[in-house]
């Protein structure tokens, strides 16, 4: 009884906070200080395989004989707001990362997970197979623990170590960089694109139609997932970096860069056509030059942005609806390789939501 009484007392506070938070914060859906009101939340594994060792399992006997290993699934954590929009957002991290990509930003603000929950989207966060909470792999692996963070500082376009790029949208508080480095995780099995795409397709089989949000390495995997599963109704891709698919005979010449050549990937016309049936938007951040230079982090993204432009052209040439937004072109400056967690990520979220709204997907 006391329990219930306390909750009743708390009610007016809840309602008032929801009300005033929204009344004050237009045009954004909700202020970060307003309560989050969820219908449900949870997590599950999806997809994957089962390996069985030959022989017979005997109680108390050591060794793998007759035993199983369930692995290669994705881990999914979801939250459903009250009064949700129809299509959920499925957020897929990039290389060396996991679901944390979309959570609290390195400097401690809300990431896309909570920002879009506040805007009433159901949000599903992925850990792809053999990464983070989906660590159980059916194939053995060695983890090197080799120091490599100055290279990532450069590749993720924070700057040229130890200097940040001028005007970069990343906090100069050393704790932000500490958190940023610590959000990386190793692969617990060989990185296998097919295994990853299988698991993500299995997720859409389970939850039905939704919008796929990809980042970097998962950009290319996202195109594969669309070719596999028509439940993906749109793709929002932040800085896709590889795996650009083109119809056979239309693959552009590989593009040399300081980090090696970037090649397109040939698929059948039928496969490619799946990418022309849904709205797609690609966002790229700042500090991406058009001419070759001496900074690998910049030159790496020079060819990726160039290839992305050819890719968007190819999709649209075949009747598709793809758009590339180079953020500085629309006046949004200083973004790193992680626009969704940069200091201006609410502005970046507004752009994404405007796109979804324009396409009738919200």
**Shortest Å, Cβ 277 to a second copy:** 28
Q: Using the minimum distance from each CB to a second copy, give the nearer residue, 48 or 88.
A: 48
Question: Please, what is the minimum distance in Å from the beta carbon of residue 273 to a second copy?
Answer: 35
Identify whether the C-beta of residue 46 lies closer than 8 Å to the C-beta of residue 94.
Answer: no
Q: How far is the CB of 197 from a second copy (least distance, A)?
A: 18
Two structure tokens written together for 192: 């296998």
Radius of gyration for the alpha carbons in the chain, expressed in angstroms and rounded: 22
For the bound state, the minimum distance from the C-beta of residue 65 to a second copy, rounded and expressed in Å, comes to: 9
Residue 354 neighbours by CB distance under 10 Å: 11
Helix (H) or strand (E) holding 358: helix 345-358
Cα(121)–Cα(123) distance, integer angstroms = 6
Give min distance, CB of 276 to a second copy, in A.
31
Choice between 82 and 265, CB closer to a second copy:
82
Q: Which is nearer to a second copy, 136 or 277 (CB)?
A: 136
- C-alpha separations of 36 from 15, 40, 78, 113, 353 in Å: 11, 11, 14, 12, 19
Tokens of 222: 């996202």
Query: Would you say 32 or 255 has its CB closer to a second copy?
Result: 32
> Whole-number minimum distance, CB 268 to a second copy, in Å?
33
Please say whether the beta carbons of 272 and 248 come within 8 A. Answer: no
**Closer to a second copy at the Cβ: 119 or 304?**
119
In angstroms, the CA 40 to CA 14 distance is: 18
- 190 vs 230 by CB, closer to a second copy: 190
């Amino acid at each position: 009884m006391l329990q219930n009484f306390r909750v009743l007392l708390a009610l007016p506070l809840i309602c008032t906070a929801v009300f005033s938070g929204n009344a004050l914060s237009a045009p954004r859906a909700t202020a970060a200080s307003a309560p989050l009101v969820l219908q449900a939340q949870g997590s599950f594994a999806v997809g994957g395989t089962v390996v069985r060792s030959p022989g017979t399992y005997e109680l108390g006997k050591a060794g793998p004989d007759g035993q199983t290993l369930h692995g290669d699934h994705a881990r999914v954590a979801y939250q459903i707001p009250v009064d949700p929009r129809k299509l959920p957002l499925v957020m897929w991290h990039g290389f060396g990362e996991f679901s944390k990509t979309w959570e609290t930003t390195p400097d401690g603000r809300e990431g896309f997970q909570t920002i879009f929950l506040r805007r009433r989207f159901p949000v599903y966060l992925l850990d792809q197979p053999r990464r983070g909470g989906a660590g159980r792999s059916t194939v053995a692996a060695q983890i090197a623990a080799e120091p490599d963070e100055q290279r990532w500082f450069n590749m993720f376009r924070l700057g040229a170590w130890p200097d940040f790029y001028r005007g970069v949208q990343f906090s100069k508080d050393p704790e932000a960089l500490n958190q940023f480095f610590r959000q990386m995780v190793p692969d617990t099995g060989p990185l296998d694109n097919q295994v990853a795409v299988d698991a993500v397709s299995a997720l859409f089989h389970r939850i039905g139609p939704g919008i796929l949000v990809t980042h970097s390495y998962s950009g290319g995997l996202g195109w594969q997932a669309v070719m596999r599963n028509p439940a993906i109704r749109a793709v929002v891709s932040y800085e896709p970096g590889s795996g650009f698919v083109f119809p056979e005979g239309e693959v552009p010449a590989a593009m040399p860069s300081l980090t090696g050549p970037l090649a397109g990937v040939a698929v059948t016309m039928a496969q490619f056509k799946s990418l022309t049936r849904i709205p797609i938007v690609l966002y790229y951040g700042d500090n991406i030059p058009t001419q070759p230079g001496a900074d690998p982090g910049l030159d790496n993204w020079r060819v990726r942005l160039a290839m992305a432009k050819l890719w968007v052209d190819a999709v649209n040439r075949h009747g598709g609806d793809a758009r590339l937004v180079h953020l500085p072109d629309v006046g949004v400056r200083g973004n790193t390789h992680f626009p969704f967690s940069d200091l201006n990520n609410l502005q970046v979220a507004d752009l994404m939501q405007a796109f979804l709204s324009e396409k009738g997907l919200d």
